[in-house]
Structure 1
């Protein structure tokens, strides 16, 4: 088994507002403070990565009006922490390997519907700043978010604090 084969294939999406802020979702039924993240999810067998990213974006946010801006090169991995016990860890995955996509939101905010596809991943959302996202995510995903923030910095507005 190769090293990457121990990781579940996954895509992540950074959705940019036209002003450079990013969409953040608060994970449903997850206590704070590290419960904000970007849409992400598994890749179906044989599914093109960009297609998977657009599907996950729509399933988790309701958004369809998005223009491709770019993607990360290669896989970004993170390990599940010891004792994580989530369903993916139970299925034998060491962690997840992700390709991240940047899209610009081109629609109206009424398009956001967190309950459009049954069990919502998020219970709230807001626009934020890409450079603040590593501090908002669960610690075991922080290094991945730092890589994503660097990869997509050219699309982003910077928070007033930086």
Structure 2
């Protein structure tokens, strides 16, 4: 009986980025959904996000990830980021995440209008990722994000803030 050899990860700076999506979910007042992760010490918050399965369309991934993470896919996509936006994990975290295959993620971000009610949001999913959630002004969120993702969040907020402000002023 032969054992599979454990393949050593590539050196950090040679690893590719994992393709993924991120979601800025806005309610009717233009406030954004943000949730606290169950697996991160402290009070790290984030938007729903996740990996794109091979051959999966990023727009389909958004609704799949939304349902997997917050228990509902009641949303209408209203905008998409101009570019893919990447972030690097700190090397010690990269060595543990995704079996050390990636240095971080490159993500296509979407902005969606939530079409459900707060009662539709259920964090007790099959594989819970979040323990708390709330609606917040979009521009107030980046300081709450884990430090290595803040530059990405600043870019996302800058791109989608006009949409949130327009919704808030209706």
TM-score, structure 1 normalization = 0.88
Count of residues in correspondence between the two structures: 153
RMSD: 1.9
Over residues 6-54 of structure 1, what are the superposed CA-to-partner deviations in whole Å (9 max), with x where a residue is unaligned? Answer: 1000100010011000001110132223x11000000000000000011
Name which of 75, 78, 81 aligns with 1:69: 78
* In 2, Cα distance between equivalents of 1:133 and 1:91: 29
Runs of 4+ in 1 over 6 A off after TM superposition: none
Q: Is contact 1:7–1:94 with CA below 8 Å preserved after alignment?
A: yes
- The equivalent residue for 1:147 is 155
More helix by share: 2
Q: Is contact 2:91–2:103 with CA below 8 Å preserved after alignment?
A: no
Deviation (angstroms), 1:91: 3.1
Q: Which runs of 5+ in 2 are unaligned?
A: 1-12
* In 2, Cα distance between equivalents of 1:74 and 1:157: 21
- The equivalent residue for 1:9 is 19
- The equivalent residue for 1:129 is 137
Larger Rg: 2
Deviation (angstroms), 1:103: 0.4
Q: Which runs of 5+ in 1 are unaligned?
A: none
* In 2, Cα distance between equivalents of 1:72 and 1:137: 19
